[in-house]
Amino acid sequence: MIKNTNKNEANFQNMKEYPSNYILINLNNLSLNYHHIKDLLASDTCITAMVKSNAYGHGMITISLHLQKLGVESFGVFTLEEGIELTDKHFEVIEYLRNETANGSPLTIRKVGKSGITDIKGLYDLFPGGPLKKSSRIAGIPKPSSCV
């Protein structure tokens, strides 16, 4: 489970509300770190943000979009499949997967194909070579049990 926050939550008084595998990302601190690094560099220096492996488990899409708004122009990934260009249709599928996961609904390729967002062939076109596994990884959710 990933929670992105802009609030200062350094003082976790209510740790019982957070599961043991909870990742808390403070986007304000990420911004401060980016600006601190940028201030140390020559003004014409470009920064490449490494977002491989789902931004090291922190949510590739959320982190990439935030860094892009700050001025990052390039991103590094581990494999070519991680670097696919995401279209509006990709984001619709990703949002659907996240919502279904948040509601505790099991995910299957057939279920996504019947979602009205895309059919099964379209899902394979969007995320070739293991569409549910790949789309789940990009969405930052656990691999569905229906994936091998």
pLDDT digits (tens, 9 = 90+) for 44-97: 898 888 887 766 666 777 888 888 899 988 888 887 767 777 788 988 998 899
Q: Which residues are catalytic?
A: 147
Any idea where the domains of the chain sit in the sequence?
Answer: 2-82, 84-139
Q: Say what the pLDDT of residue 146 is.
A: 84
Q: Which residue has the higher pLDDT, 115 or 60?
A: 115
To 10 degrees, what angle do helices 88-102 and 131-139 make? Answer: 80
Q: Which residue has the higher pLDDT, 8 or 115?
A: 115
pTM score, two decimals?
A: 0.56
Identify the residue with better confidence: 124 or 137: 124
- CATH architecture of the region 2-82: Alpha-Beta Barrel (3.20)
CA angle 134, 91, 141 (to 5 degrees): 45
State how far the alpha carbon of 88 is from the alpha carbons of 29, 40, 85, 91, 118, in Å: 28, 36, 10, 5, 12
Write out the DSSP string of 93-109. Answer: HHHHHHHHHHTT----H
Q: For 16, list phi and psi in degrees, rounded to 5.
A: -65, -25
